[in-house]
Copies of this chain bind each other. A is one copy, B any other.
């Protein structure tokens, strides 16, 4: 990866080919579940952005020619705010449940010295209902995300699952409604701080200082227990009605996932999982590598009661969604050699040119390969054959077609595999499907 401006990374051609291939596979999987592509404009009204965002992170726009121009527009910092705005604006034209995916860049106006990305891709899927949305959608989103990660051959990972109702139903009696948000935020930091620090901070929030043992009871549950045993343990913990509702939702979710083939190999209950964002109200989840530390989560998401609340829409739009962190994940997959960055061209075949007076015949031959479904480049510069073969090698184009004037007039050419050095004579008038097989079954 190259950097033009700090925080705005760019790919070289081979990396871009790999990135697009992965994004294509993800989109295909999303579409196979009936999710429609969304592509909102990069620019939103500042007031829309500020309804959920922190102005520290937002880039505003102004017309370069006029520094005093109206500053009412800015760049999106996530894909959730545009979704909320779009749903609330187009609700009459959408059919609910509305399923969309959105893979696009977002911008964060960080100070450059933070060394963080100022432009990166988000990859979001959400299902939005009008009025209500059944719990099975949570299972569908989680299983879809896991299938995407399996498609991409992401090595050993687990999706950690919890429910906000469990957290708030458990914590509210202990810290009081007024301290709930603070307490959830503290739980969200639990893996990053020491036990002592966690308990010291939690102590400050507790109504009764004696309830630390209860806190330990929940947050020190062994996550490696079988799901069933962990659920039994959770049920034995005291909590209010919301807590029980959360346990019930979690149990149903885990059962559905198991029945559709997503079992303990891929998922676990994690009572410590809190997710930072305030808008989650039910299922929450986060996918982490089992063995790779320090990369943060691969994906995450959850259930929210009302998407458009902050945009002042009176109707309720509950939803469940997930995001896959492709801007970090794909470079990681490349680094782990799970994604190939060998090719610097999209072509499978290079047609070399030996007789420039017949160049249109070579061009027509290239078209024949393309009509067969073979991506084909032609070398049009005036260079000797050796330089043309070097070009193919450097670009990772594995097959070359070689024909001199005589061969071309006789309707013959050589198809050479540059990797194995094997070659065959092919007939050029009608390219047979065997030619295609030679190329794709190397």
Residues of A within 8 A of B (CB): 2, 4-5, 8-13, 16-17, 19-20, 31-46, 55-56, 58-65, 67, 71, 73-75, 85-86, 89-90, 93-95, 97-100, 105, 107, 109, 111, 118-119, 129, 132-134, 136-137, 139-140, 143, 256, 259-261, 344-347, 350, 359-361, 363-364, 367, 370, 375-378, 380-382, 391, 394-395, 397
CA distance A9 to B44 in the complex (A): 12
> Are A391's CB and B95's CB within 8 A?
yes
CB distance from A50 to the nearest CB of B (A): 8
* Given the contacts A375-B34, A378-B140, A260 and B360 also touching, CB distance less than 8 Å: yes
Residue of B nearest to A143 (CB): B363
Known: A13-B94, A16-B39, A42-B42. A376 touches B63 (CB 8 A): no
A4 and B85 in contact (CB under 8 A), knowing A63-B60, A64-B46? yes
Other-chain residue from B60, B98, B132, B346 in contact with A36 (beta carbon distance below 8 A): B346
**How many Å lie between the Cα of A426 and that of B112 in the bound state?**
60
For A38, list chain B residues within 8 Å (CB).
13, 16
9 contacts between A and B (CB under 8 A): A4-B41, A17-B37, A31-B346, A31-B347, A32-B370, A34-B346, A58-B65, A64-B109, A136-B380
A5 touches which one: B32, B39, B41, B394 (CB < 8 A)? B41
Assess whether B95 is in contact with A136, with CB atoms less than 8 Å apart. no
> B11 contacts A375, CB within 8 Å?
no
Complex CA gap A36/B341 in Å reads 13
Contact A36 B16 (CB under 8 A): yes
Bound together, the chains give a CA A75 to CA B16 distance in angstroms of 21
Contact B4 A345 (CB under 8 A): no
